[in-house]
Structures are given as C-alpha cells and as structure tokens.
Amino acid sequence: MKKSRLLSAMCACILLVTLSPVNAASIAVTNHSFEQPVVTTIPGFLTSTAGPFCFASACPSIPGWEFSGLGGLFQPNNTVFPLGAVDGSQVFFSDARGNGDAVAVQTLSNTFYQLGIDYSLTVSVGNRAESFIPFANGEITLFAGADPKNIVSTLDLSTIIAPSPGQFSNVTLLVTAADIAATGAVGESIGIRLGGAILTGQTIFDNVRLSSSAVPVPAAVWLFGSGLLGLIGVARKKAA
C-alpha cells in the first residue's frame, strides 16, 4: 500500500511538471517603437514630401538605441504608409546607400540569456509605398554581450516575402535554447541589431518585441509518467 501511494505521488508530480503551461514572458525593449526623441524637436531635422527625418549622424542620443550609417528616425506621413506606423508615429529606417552600415543596436545590459529558454524577436518591417524607393531587405539579429558581431542568430530579410507597398509585416526570429548553448551565449546580455539594408531602397522597422519561454519538458518524461501510471494500475490489481 505504501509503495502504491509513493508511486502515485511521484507520478502526480511528474504529470504536474509535464502538463504545466509554457507561457511566453515579455522582455522590455527600451524605446521599442522609436518614439523618442520626437523628430521635429531635433535641431537641424530634415523635411521631405514623405515626412520629417534625421540621419544617425544628426540625431542626438536615442534612448535605448545606437544608430549608425545612413539610418535614422523617420516620421512617415500617409503617402508612405496610408495606415501610419504600427505603434506610434515614428520608425527607424535603414537606407541601402549605407551599404549595410545603416543599423540600430540595443544591448539589454540587465537581461541575460538563460539555460533552457527560447527567445523570440518580433519586429514590424515596412515597405514604403513609393515605387522609386523599393524594399531593401537587411537583417534582424540577436547577439550576445556588447559586440554585435557575437551573433547568436540572424534572419536575412531577403528570405521573406516583402510586405506589400505601403504596409508592414510582422517578422519573427526564434532563437532556441539549443542555439544559445551552441554559441556559448548563456550568461551574456541580450543584444538586438536591426538594419543593414543593401542594394537599393530602404527598409523600415517598428514595434520591436522580445519574449522568452521555457523549453517544454521532453516527451520522454511524459512516457516515464505514463509508465508509472501503468505500474500503479498493476499494483492495485494485485492488492485487490
């Protein structure tokens, strides 16, 4: 009887672990939709028929982000995106004339890669409506530590279907626990890199979201739990 109860308790614990929901947890990204500072408050901002903007070299310190190359803040009007930006009114643009150097980088200095955790980076990627400024691809990347070259995983936007002109599409980069272990990123701070447009045109980025989720308990544990249930059933039949 005692053995049967012990087996029941063990099995219950395993089933609780196995059946526990795996919920994604949001990770804060500073200035996630590039709303600060407001472009029109920046001394020397530029104007165009598409809306006000500033290149990285002219922009002041951007909360949370470091801009470089021919990238910067942009407040597009409805001739560029008829429905406006995805979140707020400003976006980051990566201009292909920078030959891959137009990037936005953020290091989450107090958030670290952990064992057994998957990470998802989702970004709204936009394609300008004007036919003379085509979608210029680029990348979304998660890196480790302070060096953007220490790449954990990257998604080349030339491999996706470009958003329709004047629209945004959500693009997600999934980094698995196995990727993190393989690259030695465990314990390193999480970094985000956007941009790197090449060829011609521009790529627009908005509404940057990062989340984490625990890796589900392997199916082997479920099978082990099922086996324990079978043993309990046999033990009860014998006891009867």
CATH classification at residue 116: 2.60.120.260
Q: CB–CB of 95/70 below 8 Å?
A: yes
| Tokens read off for 220 | 């082997």
**What's the confidence (pLDDT) of residue 218?**
61
Question: Reduced to 3 states, what is the DSSP secondary structure of residue 202?
Answer: strand
**Is 18 a residue whose pLDDT tops 50?**
no
Percent of the chain that is helix, strand, coil (3-state, to 5): 20, 35, 40
User: What count of other Cβ atoms lies within 10 Å of the Cβ of residue 39?
Assistant: 21
* pLDDT for res 61: 84
145 backbone dihedrals φ, ψ, rounded to 5°: 80, -155
Length of the chain: 240
- Residue 24: its pLDDT value, please? 84
Low-confidence winner among 90-104, 155-169, 216-230 (lowest mean pLDDT) = 216-230
Q: Does 11 fall in a domain? A: no
Q: What local confidence, expressed as pLDDT, does residue 82 receive?
A: 97
Partner residues linked to 104 by β-bridges: 67, 194
Q: What pLDDT does residue 100 have?
A: 83
Instruction: Give the pLDDT of residue 240.
Output: 54
Residue 72 lies in a domain: yes
Give the β-pairing of 202-214 and 91-95. Answer: antiparallel
Q: What is the pLDDT of residues 49-68, one digit of tens each?
A: 999 999 998 887 899 999 99
Give the tens place of pLDDT for each residue, 221-234.
444 444 444 444 44
Q: Is residue 238 part of a domain?
A: no
d(CA 147, CA 137): 22
In terms of pTM, does the model score above 0.75?
A: yes
43: containing domain:
21-215
* Residue 104, SS3 per DSSP: strand
Per-residue burial over 104-134, b = 16 or more CB atoms within 10 Å of its CB, e = otherwise: bbbbbeebebeeebbbbbbbbbbbbbeeebb
In a domain, 235, yes or no: no
pLDDT at 223: 41
pLDDT averaged over every residue in the chain: 85
Residue 229 lies in a domain: no
Number of C-alpha atoms within 13 angstroms, CB side, residue 179?
A: 17
Residue 225 near residue 18, CB atoms below 8 Å = yes
- Please indicate, yes or no, if residue 94 is contained in any of the structural domains: yes
- The domain tally of the chain equals 1
Region 90-117: what's the mean pLDDT? 93
For residue 12, pLDDT beyond 70: no
Looking at residue 146, its pLDDT comes to 93
Residue 240 lies in a domain: no
User: Cis (ω within 30 of 0) for the bond into 134?
Assistant: no
What pLDDT score does 99 carry? 80
The verdict on residue 234 lying in a domain is no
Average pLDDT of span 194-208:
92
